[in-house]
Amino acid sequence: MTKEQEKFSYIKNYKDYDVVGDDIDFKVFADCGPKEVVLQFEESDSQNDWVNNLLFIPWPVKLGNKTAWTTLGYARAYKSAEDIPVQELLKEIVSHPDFKVVIRGWSFGSAMAKLAARHYFNITQKGVDELTTFGDVKCWLNPFFKNKAVRLREYVTANDFVTWCVPFYHRDKKCRVGRKFSLKEIFNTEYYHTHYEEYDYSKWEEESNGED
């Protein structure tokens, strides 16, 4: 597996998430190999998550000392976590001050990851070293907003219709992987949404070697 494939596979197969608020699944850990402190969020795994995915009425969410505009569902879900994921991340950073700060998420977790990255910036005035999301959902209402991260990757594949489900919003950086759109694959969206470990990330991995 490539590094990007391994990242998704880890999020997908991890079983020991902490759960807070309105069924927000997250984990903070230090990875001593690459010297990273990681905050990662799981995919939609409950009815509450899917309800929040579909509540795309514009809504403000307080992230530290500033407000961002997202959807009602994502604002409600993030607020329910009561800042615990980011606070846990900050605690781990204190224990590993020389490690890179990484935030990752999949599906519903991609929205939580992007809100957390902006929350982290508002608290510290530093962008995370890496923000990577798979099956990325759009969550920003302001078209001029862009998350601050040294390395930003928001992966989508054309036949994954979960990534299409929030209209009129935007993402920071659309990173296409996998096959082109096909009407024949419209009923296989669940497969495409759950198999990001199979896609070719070479274009985006090469960009990370100096072309960002």
Helix (H, G, I), strand (E, B) or coil at 67: strand
What does the block give as tokens for 188? 């296989």
DSSP 8-state code for residue 138: P
Task: Report whether pLDDT(118) > 80.
Answer: yes
What does the block give as tokens for 84? 């615990």
Task: Report whether pLDDT(33) > 80.
Answer: yes
Q: Which of 71, 43, 67, 60 is nearest to 168 (CA)?
A: 71
CB count within 10 Å of CB 25 equals 22
Residue-range domains of the chain with CATH: 3-207 (3.40.50.1820)
* CA 38 to chain CA centroid, nearest Å: 12
What is the model's pLDDT at position 208?
A: 59
What's the pTM? 0.94
What is the model's pLDDT at position 26?
A: 98
Distance CA 175, CA 156 (A): 6
